[in-house]
Amino acid sequence: MKGPLLKFAVAGAALFSLVLFFLLPRYTVTTSYVPSIISSSKSATAIPNIAHFVYILSNTSDTFDFAFSHYLSIFAASYYWNPTTIYFHTNADAASRASARDGTSGKWTQLIFNTPNLIIHSVEAPTHAGNGHELQGMEHRSDFVRVQAVHDVGGVYIDWDVHALRDLKPLRESGFSAVAGKQIEEQINSGTFLSRPESKMMRLWVQGMNEAYTGGWTTHSNAVLTQIGRKLVAEPGEMLVLERDAFAPWSWNGDDCARLFSPHQEEPSNLEGVRQGDLLPEVEAGTYDEWTTLEETSDFPRDWSNTYLLHAFDPYRFGNHIEGFDKITPRYVLERRSNFARAVYPVAKEMYDRGLVSIDEE
């Protein structure tokens, strides 16, 4: 082929593969990133609108066992953020992923695997930190996977017990290279963070966690990130550290769990007189005017106006018992009798309206 014709053919092939890329089925498995396409965003300084979820199995042939609460978490991210890509990083083998897709691993797992724009990204679970220490437990392996993923492609990472209450676009487009938030006792929480690819925060964290790892529960995660936050704020535009209410307003302590999850039996149920298939009441998200009429110190209903991400630590994981609350079910959320239920109600209602959940399933 002559020069111009060759160029034309090459351009045609490039265009063809680009078109192919967008025509691929919604569910894709990939073992390597395609950063040039996924990280292109409107503004060069914005944090890309990519979401990251991580689930590391202790045995790669184990099956997934997701609950309704996990689906709530990923659905909210999809609903409020409309990410260009949602990465699901996992070490699950092909059989495990197949049983997740075909429903053998339960309804919630299947729905999670059908999330729009989801890409399953195969990872090998790391076994050792850079300092030679063996990583303890799946949680710590997941910690290393999440930090590397956001370092490499940028975007937003949240744990499965984190619930988006609104869009993060203002934070992604704030001009900061990375954003993190505080939790109880002024520590920066590592269960929620967002960053441009290879930001200074992410580079320091990848390095710091590999050096600091001891097996301590949050030595390499919250502690390292908190240290980075203290220093990096001094470098213009590198890192925005948000107040506690932004990402992790309450904690895993018994009192906080009770304030979040306790159903208020004196409240009328939002499902009063509602049968499966009926329309659910429309509830306006708290507006400024609505909340200014409330006592500021009111524990219930909680004003969630200044919360972007609700890190809802599982009370049972931390040994707290809550009267009248067992686990997060569609009915529990749709009744709107607790602060948690009120926070995530719009998302559960959307699922119900789309016929994805019914009131009395678990």
Q: Would you count residue 59 as binding ligand NAG (CB under 6 A)?
A: yes
Q: What CA–CA distance (Å, rounded) separates 75 from 251?
A: 23
**Which of residues 59 and 214 has its CB atom nearest to ligand NAG in the complex?**
59
Cα maximum dimension of the chain: 81
* 138 Cβ neighbours under 8 A, 6+ residues apart: 56, 57, 58, 125
**Which of residues 62 and 211 has its CB atom nearest to ligand NAG in the complex?**
62
- Using CB positions, name the residue nearest to ligand NAG: 59
**Which of residues 59 and 114 has its CB atom nearest to ligand NAG in the complex?**
59
DSSP letter assigned to residue 248: -
SS3 at position 307: coil
Smallest distance, Å, CB 59 to ligand NAG?
A: 4
Residue 238: φ, ψ to 5°: -75, -40
Q: What CA–CA distance (Å, rounded) separates 92 from 58?
A: 9
Smallest distance, Å, CB 353 to ligand NAG?
A: 39
Is the peptide bond prior to 330 cis by the omega test (within 30 degrees of 0)? no
Smallest distance, Å, CB 61 to ligand NAG?
A: 5
**Which of residues 39 and 91 has its CB atom nearest to ligand NAG in the complex?**
91
What does R_g of the chain's alpha carbons equal in angstroms?
22
Q: Would you count residue 292 as binding ligand NAG (CB under 6 A)?
A: no
Q: Would you count residue 61 as binding ligand NAG (CB under 6 A)?
A: yes
Smallest distance, Å, CB 53 to ligand NAG?
A: 23
Q: Would you count residue 65 as binding ligand NAG (CB under 6 A)?
A: no
Q: What CA–CA distance (Å, rounded) separates 211 from 199?
A: 19
Q: Would you count residue 95 as binding ligand NAG (CB under 6 A)?
A: no
The site for ligand NAG (CB under 6 A) is made up of: 59, 61
